[in-house]
Amino acid sequence: MIKKTIFAAMLVLAMFAVFCGSAQVAQANGPPRRIVSFNLCADQLLLALADPGQIAGLSPYAVNPVLSVMTGKAASFPRLDWDAESVVNLAPDLVLGGPSHRPIHAMLSAMGIRVVDVDLIRNLADARRQARELGALIGHPDRGEALARQLEEAEARLAAVAMKPPLTALVIQREGYREGPASLASGMLSIAGLRAPDRGSSGAGGFMSAEQGGFVSLEHLLTDGPDVLVLQDPPSEARDQGALFITHPALLARYGANRRIDLPERYTLCGGPPLVQGLDYLATAIKALK
C-alpha cells in the first residue's frame, strides 16, 4: 500500500512540468479547451453549456439516473475516479469541482491546473447567476444567458399555478429527515405556494427550526402535520427502518394523492437543467393537487 502511494505521488510530480506549462498556454489562448468536472452539479451545467469537444471527463455520478437528469448526454464522455491521477491523465486546462475533495483540489492547483468550485445553490437567483458565470467561464456567455432565461421562464410557469392562498408543506426524506427553509427544495415549494409550518422546535418529536433541516416524528406528522407532504424519492416498500417511516400505512392514509407530492431528489440537488425540469415537474404536481 505504501509503495502504491509513493508511486502515485511520483507519477503526479513527474507530470507536473508538462501539465503546468500546457495549462498556462491554454489559459492564455482563450476559453478552456479541455474541461474536467469533478462534481455532480458541474457535470450537468457543463453538458448544457459547453461544446462536446471541450468536455474531457465527468464525475462518476454523471450517469446515475437517481442523481442526474443528463445521463443520456453524459454516457459518451470519460468518467473519473475519485483521485487526482484520473484528472491529471486527461490533461485538463480547467477542472470544475465542489466544496469537497479539498486535498485533491490543492494538488491540482499546485500543478498549475486551474480549479474552479461550482457552489451549491439555495435559490433561483443564485441559479441564474451561476448559469451566467459558468457560461462566461467556459467561453459561451450566450448559452449561460439562455439557461438563466430558461430558469426565469420555468419559475414563472410554476408561480402561475401556485396555491392561493398558500398551504403548509414539508419536504420529508428517509427516517423523517426534513429539509430546512434554506434548502433549494424549500425555495422551489415557496414559489409553488407551499410554505413551511410557522413553528419552532417542540422537542424531539416536533418540527425542527434549523435552517438546513432536522427531524420530525411520525406521530407529529399524523397529529399535527402540514397540509401537504412532499416525499423525496419514496421507496415502494419498507425494506429498512428509513423506508418504513415514509411508507407507513398511517402516513400514506393521512396523505393521499390529493395531499402528497412525490418529488425526485435529482430535481433539488443542483441548478441548471435539473432545476428547470424540477420547476416544471412541480407545476404539474400542483395542478394535480387542485
CATH of the domain at 166: 3.40.50.1980
pLDDT value of position 174: 79
Report angle CA 143, 264, 184 to the nearest 5 degrees.
60
Domain membership of residue 34 (yes or no) is yes
pLDDT at 160: 98
Q: Using 50, 70 and 90 to split pLDDT, how confident is the model at 180?
A: confident
Q: Is residue 148 part of a domain?
A: no
Q: What is the pLDDT of residue 34?
A: 96
Q: In terms of residue numbers, what domain contains 50?
A: 2-119
Residue 185 covered by a domain: yes
Residue 127 lies in a domain: no
pLDDT of residue 71: 97
> How many independent structural domains does the chain possess?
2
Q: For residue 43, count CB atoms less than 10 angstroms from its CB and return exposed for 0-12, middle for 13-18, buried for 19 or more.
A: buried
The pLDDT value recorded for residue 215 is: 85
Q: Given the DSSP bridges, would you call strands 177-179 and 213-215 parallel, antiparallel or unpaired?
A: antiparallel
The residue among 119, 144, 171 that closes a domain is 119
Residue 266 pLDDT > 60: yes
- 197 shares a domain with 283: yes
Higher per-residue pLDDT: 117 or 7: 117
Q: With bands split at pLDDT 50, 70 and 90, how would you rate the model's confidence at 238? A: low
Q: How many residues does the chain have?
A: 290
Measure the CA angle with vertex 144, ends 138 and 148; round to 5°: 155
Residue 138 covered by a domain: no
Phi-psi region of 263 (alpha: psi -120 to 50; beta: other; left: phi over 0): beta
Clarify whether residues 205 and 280 are in a common domain. Answer: yes
Q: pLDDT (tens digit, 9 = 90+) per residue, 70-101?
A: 999 999 999 998 888 888 889 999 999 987 66
Residue 187 neighbours by CB distance under 10 Å:
20
Q: What is the pLDDT of residue 117?
A: 92
> According to the model, what pLDDT value does residue 199 have?
58
Same structural domain for residues 11 and 96? yes
> End of a domain among 68, 103, 119?
119
pLDDT above 60 (res 184): yes
Q: What is the pLDDT of residue 66?
A: 95
Are residues 92 and 175 both part of a single domain? no
**Mean pLDDT lowest for which of 38-47, 63-72, 77-86, 100-109?**
100-109
Task: Give the pLDDT of residue 32.
Answer: 96
Residue 144 lies inside a defined structural domain of this protein: no
Indicate whether 77 and 172 sit together in one domain: no
The yes-or-no verdict on residue 212 having pLDDT over 70 is: no
Residues 106 and 177 in one domain: no
Place of cell 510530480: 13
- Residue 32 vs residue 10, higher pLDDT: 32
Q: Which residues pair with 213 in a beta bridge?
A: 179
Task: Decide if pLDDT at 119 tops 70.
Answer: yes
Residues 10 and 74 in one domain: yes
Residue from 288, 170, 150 nearest 230 by CA:
170
Q: What is the pLDDT of residue 189?
A: 96
| Cα–Cα distance for residue pair 179/212, rounded to 1 Å | 6
Is 146 within the bounds of a domain? Answer: no
Long-range CB pairs of 57-60, under 8 A, 24+ apart, other chains included: 57/86, 57/87, 57/90, 57/92
Q: Left, alpha or beta for 97 (phi > 0: left; psi -120 to 50: alpha)?
A: beta
Whether 206 is in a domain gets the answer yes
* % of the chain exceeding 90 in pLDDT: 59
User: What is the distance between the alpha carbons of residues 70 and 184, in angstroms, rounded to a whole number?
Assistant: 19
Counting residues of the chain whose pLDDT is more than 70, the rounded percentage is 82
pLDDT value at 200 more than 60 = no
Average pLDDT, whole number, for the chain?
85
Spatial distance between the Cα atoms of 119 and 77, rounded to a whole number of angstroms? 23
**3-class DSSP state of 123:** coil
Q: Amino acid identity of 268? A: T
Helix (H, G, I), strand (E, B) or coil at 191: helix
Nearest to 171 by CA among 128, 212, 219: 212
Task: Supply the pTM of this predicted model.
Answer: 0.84
CA distance 290 to 276: 22
**Does residue 96 share a domain with residue 195?**
no
> Does 59 lie in the same domain as 172?
no
In the Cβ-directed half-sphere of 27, how many Cα atoms lie within 13 Å?
A: 16
pLDDT of residue 175: 76
- pLDDT at residue number 29: 66
- pLDDT (mean) for 207-224: 75
